[in-house]
Amino acid sequence: MEKQTIQSEQDIKDILKSYQLYQVMLDLPFRLNHVNCFMAEEGDGWKIIDVGLHNAETVARWNKELAQKNIKEIIITHYHPDHFGYAGGMQAKTGARLSMTKIDADMALDAWHDVFLSNLNKNYESAGIPTGIADDMTKNTAEFIERVTPYPTVDHYLKEGEHIRIGNYMYKVIHTPGHSDGLVCFYNSERNMLLSTDHILPRITPNISYWFHGDPNPLKSYLHSLEKIRSLDADLVVPSHGKPFYGANDRIDEITKHHEERLDTLLRVITNGATIYEACGKLFRKKLSIHETRFAVGETFAHLEFLRNNGDCQRVMYDGKYWYTV
């Protein structure tokens, strides 16, 4: 089926309603300005899928949405702050059980940990990032601590192939590492519908970053996960950013092509040798905020490591920095 976005808010509402799903779009203070969370109504209570950043706006919005409702379960698709941040806060308020993958539960505990943060600065400098900018980037990461705490208690670890009820349908849990190591999508085979979370997005390509921990070749994992989803040939895709659309495989083609082009560009960029930061500057030409620079550097790093693991380039450590050359 050819890729086709559903434009009207009413159509989105109606389609989701037929799954007993309600979208809660939360504002984000970034260029990526929103995240879609979902509420699913079941006979004896509600399930929540993703919860947004822990900040005052998020808390106020959920207070309104959750009022008078029995919240049974909170399902977290991956550990990134815009999905996971308020998990512990909402769990404390509702007493709901919480499910996520073990991989991402562990990643969450790691990602804002003191030891990780103190190494981060050193790692940023090895990427060739000037000291002042590296400091700001580490500070920016640390600023997220208050937006992702308190941490929740995980009652159930989601597993590949497990079937879970969401609203009035059953979904298969599909592990699709890449955007995060433990990210899961949920697939309903009866209606050939995919809750794609951040694995497949309609307009932007999901950020694939290496941030000095976890999977050493996330782009390889991501491309493999795309092929895994391709085999479903899903019809309706409901993503965590942007509007639902039809035709998963057309979008998978576009995203795959994007990464192939980016890899080609990078090979040209590093012909005469470049640090990660230099390569990043040539790949992302527009002016980036510190927060965006973190993502751009991570994305560049992931692509360089993909090339290196493929035998397409080499990496040497010189003067405390990684240099990539063809």
| Residues that bind Zn ion in the complex, under the rule CB under 5 A | 82, 198
Nearest residue to 185 via CA among 81, 77, 48, 83: 77
Q: Smaller CB distance to Zn ion: residue 107 or 134? A: 107
Q: What is the CA 1 to chain-centroid distance, rounded?
A: 25
- Minimum CB–partner distance for residue 15 and Zn ion (Å): 21
- Minimum CB–partner distance for residue 277 and Zn ion (Å): 24
Q: What is the CA 21 to chain-centroid distance, rounded?
A: 21
Q: Smaller CB distance to Zn ion: residue 104 or 278? A: 104
Cβ neighbours, 10 Å, residue 159 = 12
- Minimum CB–partner distance for residue 78 and Zn ion (Å): 8
Q: Smaller CB distance to Zn ion: residue 73 or 82? A: 82
Q: Smaller CB distance to Zn ion: residue 239 or 281? A: 239
Q: Smaller CB distance to Zn ion: residue 181 or 198? A: 198
The residue whose two tokens read 């991956």 is: 78
- Minimum CB–partner distance for residue 324 and Zn ion (Å): 28
Q: Smaller CB distance to Zn ion: residue 206 or 281? A: 206
- Minimum CB–partner distance for residue 107 and Zn ion (Å): 14
The residue whose two tokens read 């600065």 is: 121
- Minimum CB–partner distance for residue 234 and Zn ion (Å): 19
- Minimum CB–partner distance for residue 123 and Zn ion (Å): 23
- Minimum CB–partner distance for residue 108 and Zn ion (Å): 14
Scored b (16 or more CB within 10 A) or e, 275-303 reads bbbbbbbebbeeebeebbbbbbbbbbbbb
Q: Smaller CB distance to Zn ion: residue 185 or 307? A: 185
- Minimum CB–partner distance for residue 298 and Zn ion (Å): 14
Q: Smaller CB distance to Zn ion: residue 84 or 169? A: 84
Closest residue to Zn ion, judged by C-beta, is 198
Q: Smaller CB distance to Zn ion: residue 6 or 200? A: 200
